[in-house]
Amino acid sequence: MKAYSPQKIEPKWQKIWEEKGIFSALDFDQKPKKYLLFEFPYPSGDRLHVGHARSYTALDAMARKARMEGYNVLLPMGWDAFGLPTENYAIKNKISPQKVTVENIANSKKQAQSWGLSIDWNREINTTDPDYYKWTQWIFIQLFKHGLAYRAKTQVNWCPSCKTTLANEEVLSDGTHERCGFATEKREQEQWVIKITAYADRLIDDLAEVDFLEKIKTQQINWIGRSLGINISYNIEGLDGQIAVYTTRPDTNFGATFIVVAPESDFVKEHLKDFSNQDEISKYIEASKKKTDIERIAEGRKKTGVNTGLVAINHLTDKKMPIYVSDFVLATVGTGCVIGVPGHDIRDFEFATEKGLEIIRVVVGSDGDTSPITKPEQVQEEKGKMINSGFLDGMDIHEATTKIMDYIEEKGWGKKIKRYHLRDWIFSRQHYWGEPIPLIFCNFCKKSMEAQNSKLKAQNKGESLNPGWFVVPEEELPVKLPELEHYEPSGTGESPLAKIANWVNVKCPRCGGEAKRETDTMPNWAGSNWYYLGYLLKSQITNSKSQTFFNEETTKILKYWMPVDLYNGGMEHTTLHLLYSRFIYKFLYDIGVVPTKEPYAQRRSHGMILGPDRQKMSKSRGNVVNPDEIVAKHGADAFRLYEAFIGPFDQTVSWSDESLAGCSRFLSRVWSISQEKVSDSPTPPELLKKLHKTIKKVGADIDEMKFNTAVAAMMEFVNDWQKESFLNKKDAQDFLKILSPFAPHITEELWEILEGKGLIAENSWPKYDESLIKDTVVTIVIQENGKLRGDIEAPFDSSEEEISAICQNSPKFTHLVENTKKVIYVKNKLINFVK
């Protein structure tokens, strides 16, 4: 018997798989389809890591099993190569992003191939390929034409390190940029914005139609933050104007004693001239710009604010309510103006206490306390009945909320409205390495369109919303990103592309006059919004001259493959990529490009792999595990097997070199035993029974993504095999089949040695014999009043009477059966005699 050498075996089988093309998925195959997808990687300078491998090898195991079960399986891979990670790496190493991307993709692909992944490489995509981003630009153009892309001056998150704007979702809870870790700032800047809020209701409601983890659904629902409330307009004393406040708790309005407005709110901009202390408020506004939103709304933070000198009148009580500017209110929430009800909101209570404002109780809780509210623990925020509230007194707060909303609307003081925490998606980026936005601005046309009686009319909703802006004609796509010698962010708020006059200056597509290209680029999420479609349409993307996705051929392909059957990815992308891609897909559905309402039928998520020290892996900690070194030393099969065995797939786990070595030793045992303990004689009955139990368990565990217990079951079986004399050759081949999704190279080699027909990857998944799996004898736990008294062996599926009879005939348990008030029997598990 030759020695087990993964370094020789693995390249051999990788080459055979590639030459035979056995992992290529066919469009319109007669087999049922199964589209498995993992999040495609950023090809960064640090290459693929063990965290990538956890997701990739898991779905590869599922793909290999599904092929053996007769499915037409698509498991594709590509590269999400635009964006800040690559640009920052290129700047740091003083090389072009184009060169970095080519090198990083080549290195990462080599890694992935060395792991023996059953990828259909014919469908490989790269978001920086002009043939690919032509269609990213085409999607943007459709958004523009349908009025879902608009230009607005908005307060944005600015990363001083990356010198670009960020979407809200790209800023972490501590106010830092999720890519570089630098503290962000607030700026006002003209941006392209995508109207994702137009789809907010559907993004929530359609979650009921998909199989996502509940925590994923909950995160998306909470991020979108749909609420039903009312906008109430209060008159301002001494001014011919009103202040609009949004609230979901109008039932407490009889206890409203002040109003607080955000420093950056429209109300402050419009009325700063009316404030009695403009200088103090202006300084306060500037100071607030240096704080992150997270800082401003942090629990327990001391409340600050400045009295504007303006007073609003409470419609219900006629009380005067002073208006304050305070940074604990955000302009992006509601109207940017908040009604202060200090008896029933802890932040309002803290502010009122700080400023010495009146606190009125209008809700009494279950404790019946009606005393004045002077302590935080007395603040009643959720349940209770109304008091000191006129016609609402005695009502439950929910009934009172409905009643007061109707009353306020009838009086003309306000209007019910649905609001969302979700903000429209800021789409502009002021860096180089991204897709050019395919728009052209003509100042002459802008003036003409805005002039009265203009003959120049908008031809679509985008032109109406954004006078002077026109899409690049679709036949001119892609708008290619020019190669620059100096591509570093300018820091001025402009993209480096603004410096390239011969690229920026173009003819207006409408009037033919002088015009300029948009120089901002798209965010790194743009290409990943539709990449799962890119895999399906790879040949159309690279070969077709068509100017639209929507044709007879692409419709058939998308109808065959969509939706994705299983999509696995990180929880950190739940409110970023996963939400964005669902939105874009829904838009494409609305314009007739895709066949289903949702892109993913099922979404699962894997846990993080920590370093051996149980800390997050990082170069600074020196705890990074290099997969290349593992494969070189132990082989890809040991690496794959350990990635499956390391722990529950959805849980965070710590890396262990000892456990990895154990997986390597296990494969060495499989290598030896598969050649030394195989016979043409029938397998011993007990070992055959254990084999069929293992086949059943491994198959079920793979389907349920319980990869660690599947591996554990196979390890347990090998222990039993080693103790027995032999395993029949066919039975040994069946064992190799169930091991093959986790360790495909060694199983192919042993399959060949055991004279298996063809490739193991092309064979059928083994069937288990149900009659062999049934236990003939089981262990029954004996209890008295719930306390363990021992156990007995009994025939499988025995009745309660039969178990009681066995106990009656046992000297040890006879006394338990006598004088029993009640018997609790759980078939095949336990019997409890209650005295």
Torsions phi, psi for 281 (to 5 deg): -70, -40
E strands, 160-287, are 164-166, 185-194, 211-212, 227-235, 242-247, 258-261
Where does the pLDDT of residue 292 fall: very low under 50, low under 70, confident under 90, or very high at 90 and above? confident
Mean pLDDT across the chain, nearest whole number?
94
Task: Report the percentage of the chain scoring pLDDT > 90.
Answer: 80
Residue 403 pLDDT greater than 70, yes or no = yes
Where does the pLDDT of residue 544 fall: very low under 50, low under 70, confident under 90, or very high at 90 and above? low
CB 61 within 8 A of CB 117: no
Whole-number pLDDT of residue 498:
94
Where does the pLDDT of residue 56 fall: very low under 50, low under 70, confident under 90, or very high at 90 and above? very high
Report the SS3 class of residue 724: coil
What structural domains and CATH numbers belong to the chain? 29-128+525-610 (3.40.50.620), 137-200+425-517 (no CATH), 227-419 (3.90.740.10), 627-771 (1.10.730.10), 775-834 (3.10.20.590)
> What confidence tens digit (pLDDT) does each residue in 609-655 have?
999 999 988 767 888 899 999 999 999 999 999 999 999 999 999 99
Distance CA 665, CA 654 (A): 20
Cis peptide preceding 496, ω within 30 of 0 = no
Distance CA 801, CA 778 (A): 16
Sign of CA dihedral 648, 649, 653, 658: positive
Of 50-64, 171-185, 583-597, give the lowest mean pLDDT range.
171-185
Of 225-239, 287-301, 314-328, give the lowest mean pLDDT range.
287-301
Residue 178 pLDDT greater than 80, yes or no = no
Where does the pLDDT of residue 438 fall: very low under 50, low under 70, confident under 90, or very high at 90 and above? very high
Where does the pLDDT of residue 235 fall: very low under 50, low under 70, confident under 90, or very high at 90 and above? very high
> What confidence tens digit (pLDDT) does each residue in 700-711 have?
999 999 999 999
Q: What average pLDDT does the segment 297-305 reach?
A: 88
- Strand pairing report for 164-166 and 439-441: unpaired
Report the SS3 class of residue 43: coil
Distance CA 619, CA 88 (A): 17
Contacts of 203 (CB under 8 A, 6+ apart): 196, 220, 224, 579, 582, 583, 586
Residue 491 pLDDT greater than 80, yes or no = no
Whole-number pLDDT of residue 366:
85
Distance CA 196, CA 422 (A): 8
Whole-number pLDDT of residue 183:
85
Report the SS3 class of residue 171: strand
> What confidence tens digit (pLDDT) does each residue in 104-138 have?
999 999 999 999 999 999 999 999 999 999 999 99
Residue 735 pLDDT greater than 90, yes or no = yes
Torsions phi, psi for 577 (to 5 deg): -55, -45
Highest mean pLDDT among 50-64, 372-386, 484-498: 50-64
Distance CA 179, CA 170 (A): 8
CB 137 within 8 A of CB 478: yes
| Of the candidates 6, 65, 61, the residue with the CA atom closest to the CA atom of residue 667 | 6
Two structure tokens written together for 835? 């005295």
Q: What average pLDDT does the segment 736-759 reach?
A: 98
Residue 169 pLDDT greater than 90, yes or no = no
> What confidence tens digit (pLDDT) does each residue in 320-345 have?
999 999 999 999 888 999 999 999 99
Whole-number pLDDT of residue 454:
80
Whole-number pLDDT of residue 425:
93
Two structure tokens written together for 816? 């338990």
Report the SS3 class of residue 220: helix
Where does the pLDDT of residue 215 fall: very low under 50, low under 70, confident under 90, or very high at 90 and above? very high
Of 424-428, 543-547, 743-747, give the lowest mean pLDDT range.
543-547
Whole-number pLDDT of residue 284:
96
Distance CA 169, CA 573 (A): 9
Of 42-46, 567-571, 579-583, give the lowest mean pLDDT range.
42-46
> What confidence tens digit (pLDDT) does each residue in 130-167 have?
999 999 999 999 999 999 999 998 878 888 888 777 76
Output the DSSP codes for 568-613. EE-GGGTTTHHHHHHHHHHHHHHTTSSSSS-SBSEEEEPPPEEPTT
Distance of CA 291 to the CA centre of its chain: 28
Distance CA 81, CA 128 (A): 6
SS (H, E, C) 98-131: HHHHHHHHHHHHHHHHHCCCCCCHHHCCECCCHH
- Strand pairing report for 258-261 and 320-325: parallel
CB 508 within 8 A of CB 442: yes
Whole-number pLDDT of residue 542:
83
